[in-house]
Chains A and B, each alone.
Chain A
Amino acid sequence: MFALLQAIQASAYAAYVRDSLLIYPAANIAHVVAVMVFFAAVAAMDLRLMRVIRGTPAPLVIARLRPVAIGALVMIAATGAVLFVPEAVSIGRNWAFLLKLVAIALALGNIAANDWALRRTGEKSVTVQMTAGLSLMLWLSVAALGRAIAYV
């Protein structure tokens, strides 16, 4: 693992990002903006499933907003990789970053559980509402842990 991180950090691409005046700050800004878009879409879907917001049918809300969330998530991952590469070794053993990866895995698993419950038990089930609430908490934890990387 250490050798892999070291190879990433020593790569030509890592050197390119490290030395560029624009790429790194641009990726940093795009990362944060994409996080805002992602969480806005996630929050609207989750709050609808939690029945905090009502009116527009939940399947319609999800059909409209899931592509937005997926697009933003791809952007987040791509820009995140740019931020990771120049410091792969130190970030790779940063506990906030590792915990963030765990939280992302849990949040993605939670989406699968929510989706499964939605199809199996219908949108008014307790499981759907609980996983929707959990989704908000998990994604906010991911954001908090992401910001903590710079301070641990």
Chain B
Amino acid sequence: MLASRLLVATLLVAAALLLKPLTAFAHHGWSSYDAEKPMTVEAVIEDVEFGNPHGMLMVSHDGRQWHVILAPPSRMQARGATANIVAKGKTVKVYGYPRRDGAAEIRAEWIEVDGRRFELR
């Protein structure tokens, strides 16, 4: 039947489109960040927000103010990265990927505070 053939064809195309980037997704996340240029920033936390859909902290690096995109609050909590640990004024080490468009924003893969590393993905 035409409808079921169309459905199968659609699903195959969708699967083909999905499978290729899927491995990249699992490790490197969103396409607007450049996983080919990972960067590590060590700086003082100037501001931090634990909000949905994901947390965020602000640091200065190379004369620019960077937004560091964290995980959703529920995951931050689950990994132990609570608000009293990831706090304003503390030194943080961030490893992540910068935006492709050059905006001062990093999607953090992990952060280190008080000598503890928190994996965020």
Q: Which positions in A face B, CB cutoff 8 Å? A: 17-25, 47, 50, 52, 83, 86-87, 150-151
Contacts and interface: CB of A to CB of B under 8 A. Distances in A.
A17 B52 contact: yes
Contact of A22 (B30, B32, B50, B74): B74
18 contacts: A17-B52, A19-B52, A20-B52, A20-B73, A21-B77, A22-B74, A24-B53, A24-B72, A24-B73, A24-B74, A25-B52, A47-B3, A50-B3, A52-B1, A52-B3, A86-B52, A86-B53, A151-B32
B40 interface: no
Contacts of B80: none
Interface in B43-66: 50-53
Contact of B73 (A21, A47, A52): A21
Given A50-B3, A87-B53, 7 more contacts: A18-B52, A19-B73, A21-B77, A23-B52, A25-B52, A52-B1, A151-B31
A149 B52 CA distance: 15
B74 A21 contact: yes
The 4 lowest CB-CB distance pairs between A and B, nearest first, are A24-B52, A18-B51, A52-B3, A21-B74
Contacts of B77: 21
B52 to A, nearest CB: 4
Contact of B30 (A24, A87, A151): A151
Contacts of A25: 52, 72, 74
Contacts of B53: 24, 83, 86-87
Contacts of B31: 151
A22 B73 CA distance: 9
Nearest to B50: A19
A77 to B, nearest CB: 19
A17 B73 CA distance: 11
A11 to B, nearest CB: 14
A57 to B, nearest CB: 20
Contacts of A24: 52-53, 72-74
Contacts of B51: 18-19, 86
Contacts of B30: 150-151
Nearest to B32: A151
